[in-house]
Structure 1
Amino acid sequence: MKFHTRKWVKPEDLNPNGTLFGGRLLQWIDEEVALYSIIQLEIPKTVTKFMSEIDFISSAKQGDIIEIGIEVLKFGNSSITLNCKVRNKLTHKDIINIDKIVMVSLDDNGNPRPHGKTKVEFVKDRLDNQ
């Protein structure tokens, strides 16, 4: 699994217990998987269709640095299915796991749009082919 993004847990990210608010973490995850999917599929209108059970394993506190990891499980006709893990950057202790996130590309009418992708592509490979 590749960890793409790091976040610094700040006071505004905390819940009343003084730990990272789960809603904030889910916001970060949703944004990261959306950006990742849009870049992979090269279709800006790509949205979250499904998230499987969310397993909060541990928490983070103010000052912690967390990182979000994403792994592609499969490509569908108009979708990409991902796995996501968030961990503490310094201790590598898992914070949350989401086994399955499905992102779907849409056309201008909001209907699923085929993307034609079958494997993970890296920007450097796309640039080399131009």
Structure 2
Amino acid sequence: MRFHTRKWVKPEDLNPNATLFGGRLLSWIDEEAALYTVVQLENPKTVTAYMSEISFKSSAKQGDIIEIGIEVVKFGKTSITLRSEARNMMTRETILVVDQIIMVNLGEDGKPIPHGKSKVEFVRDRLKSK
């Protein structure tokens, strides 16, 4: 799994227990999944269709740095299924894992359309072929 994003836990990210609010972390993961999908499918019109069960394993506190990793599980006809892990960069503990995030590729009309992708592509490789 590649860890693409780091987030610094700030006071506004905390819950009443002075630990990272789970909703904030899920928001970061959803945003990362969307950005990853936009780059992979080369289409800014993508939406989150599904997130599997989420189980928190540990937490983080103010000042900790969170790393968010994304990997492709599979490519569908109009979708891409991702897996995500968030870990505390300071302690290396996994905070949570989301086994399935299904992102859907949309057309101009807002309906799912085929994306034609079947493997992970890196932007640097796309640039070489142009």
The normalised TM-score by structure 2 is: 0.98
Unaligned stretches of 5+ residues in structure 2? none
CA positional deviation for 1:108: 1.5
Show the counterpart of 1:120.
Answer: 120
The SS at the match of 1:58 is coil
CA-atom RMSD, angstroms? 0.6
Tell me whether 1:48 sits opposite 2:48 in the alignment. Answer: yes
Counting aligned pairs with the same residue, the percent is 69
Show the counterpart of 2:100.
Answer: 100
- 1:39 alignment partner AA: V
Show the counterpart of 1:17.
Answer: 17
1:30-81, Cα deviation, whole Å (9 max, x unpaired): 0000000000000110000000001111110000001000010000011000
Supply the distance in 2 between the matched residues of 1:4 and 1:112 (Cα, whole angstroms). 26
The SS at the match of 1:114 is coil
CA positional deviation for 1:92: 1.2
Aligned pairs, how many?
Answer: 130
Tell me whether 1:91 sits opposite 2:91 in the alignment. Answer: yes
Unaligned stretches of 5+ residues in structure 1? none
CA positional deviation for 1:90: 2.4
CA positional deviation for 1:109: 1.5
Supply the distance in 2 between the matched residues of 1:92 and 1:85 (Cα, whole angstroms). 12
CA positional deviation for 1:116: 0.4
- 1:80 alignment partner AA: I
CA positional deviation for 1:20: 0.3
CA positional deviation for 1:110: 1.4
Supply the distance in 2 between the matched residues of 1:12 and 1:3 (Cα, whole angstroms). 23
- 1:113 alignment partner AA: I
Supply the distance in 2 between the matched residues of 1:127 and 1:107 (Cα, whole angstroms). 24
- 2:123 alignment partner AA: V
Show the counterpart of 1:58.
Answer: 58
- 2:15 alignment partner AA: N
